[in-house]
Amino acid sequence: MNIGSVIKYYRTKNNLTQQHLAEGICSISHLSKIESNTYIPHESTSEALLAKMGVQWNKELAKYNLLQTRLGRFIDCALYYDLENMRMQYGQLTLENDYLQSTDLINQYELFKFRFYIAENDLAKAERQRVMLERLSGSFTAPENWLYRFFLSLHYSMSEKTETALKLLENLDQGIQSIPQKFEGEYYYQKARLLILRGQYELSAHFTQLAVQFYQIHHNYIRLLHAQLLLAINYTRRNLLMQASSIYEVLKRNSYLTGQHKLYKQTLYNYAELLKQTRNFAQARELLEELRADKEIGPYLSKAVLVSSIEIALETEKDPEPDLADLKKLIREDEEGYFKIYATYFEKRIFSQPDLLAYSEEIMFPFFRKYGYINERIKVAFELAAHYQKEKNWEKALFFSSFNEWTGGEII
């Protein structure tokens, strides 16, 4: 703890000038050096300076230690995904904001706040915090710098910049850098999560297993459920359907029993994906119906459920129009994104097949490419390649087939 910063904090708080405080104790230039932490004062000098402002050093130390413990708890909440408690800790810490700013805990404090805004999915606050941390980054210690880049990667992950996020993560366990022990599981989990988005399932499974082991050893049950969901999605994508199905059953039960309502709904939704793949449409529909009956699933999941229901309707030759109409109602006029793209895709598929190909090539493919939807890009490219192959338009067939790999044909 820097005593100079504490003296400066209380002097400013008491509206004292350096001249006023130093009077009778030391010279002004001496005090100035103490306050900027370039000089460590003799015990009697610091005690006299603090006593003049009615501050007791022992109490200060106790306060410092308490805040350090609180900061530890704050970040533990993020690691254990205890958001409610994290909000409470955040509230308490902000009451001590000014004091924290005067201590060497400030870097940790600002870094953990960054993680908090990411966990809260608050893009605007996270972005402001990123700009602020960039200014502070010159004063980071090596572990703080590791954390900064790790959280930065999560920030990119949150803004769907998968490639940038992964590149940052990949640099974090190379060379002399090691992962801080506390963050090991978190590092594996986040890496596995991003690798799924990139379509590197085998590698992702490896990191998910590491995360699962870490969470089990550290009794981190909620994160364990999250890692298991990643694993189930991974197995589904790799057609390891028996394994995926048994994980989903466990997840369904445990997320329900632990009151993780959001996770429970996500599990049902993803489980339906697996059931569709095995053409078990009746059961898939049952899970989706349970979600549709829930009034609190939020706009994103509502739209995803409708897209999923439309797919089932098309596969089982039922009328998809009511679901499509519901989906269009949920999509805002000005919305440009995944669901708008798919609503139009299904509309064309149902009502005007000839337009579908042009739409895939001119709108969908560039959209997925621009916004880094790797899997979707591969899917559309594959269909277009197959089409142009049939038409014997080899140039285009070759162009689109080059996207049929995990990099999506992009040079990274």
Partner 1 sequence: MKSGKKLTLALLAAGFVGAAAFTVSAEPVQQEDLVIASGSEIQEFEQRAPTILPPI
* Positions in the binding site for partner 1 (CB under 8 A): 81, 118-119, 154, 157-158, 190, 193, 196-197, 225-227, 229-230, 233, 237, 239, 263, 266, 269-270, 273, 276-279, 300-301, 304-305, 307-308, 311, 315, 338, 342, 345-346, 378-379, 382, 385-386, 389, 394, 397-398, 401, 404
Cβ 182 to partner 1 shortest distance, Å: 17
Q: How far is the CB of 234 from partner 1 (least distance, A)?
A: 10
Q: Which is nearer to partner 1, 31 or 154 (CB)?
A: 154
| Paired tokens of 333 | 């006029």
Number of CB atoms found within 10 A of residue 12's CB: 12
Nearer to partner 1, 11 or 115 (CB): 115
Contact 234, 211 (CB under 8 A): no
CB of 229 to partner 1, least distance (A): 5
| Residue 234 CA, distance from chain mean position | 18
71 or 304: CB nearest partner 1: 304
CB of 334 to partner 1, least distance (A): 20
Nearest by Cα to 78 from 131, 127, 126: 126
Least CB distance to partner 1 at residue 91 (A): 21
- In a 13 Å sphere around the CA of 10, the CA atoms on its Cβ side amount to 16
Nearer to partner 1, 18 or 401 (CB): 401
Reduced to 3 states (helix: H, G, I; strand: E, B; else coil), residue 106 is helix
164-188 residues labelled b (16+ CB within 10 A) or e (exposed): ebbebbeebeeeeeeeeeebbbbbb
Q: Which is nearer to partner 1, 3 or 380 (CB)?
A: 380
Nearer Cβ to partner 1 (26/378): 378
Rounded Cα distance between 204 and 188, Å, is: 9
* Calpha distance 145→222 (Å, rounded): 27
CB of 137 to partner 1, least distance (A): 21
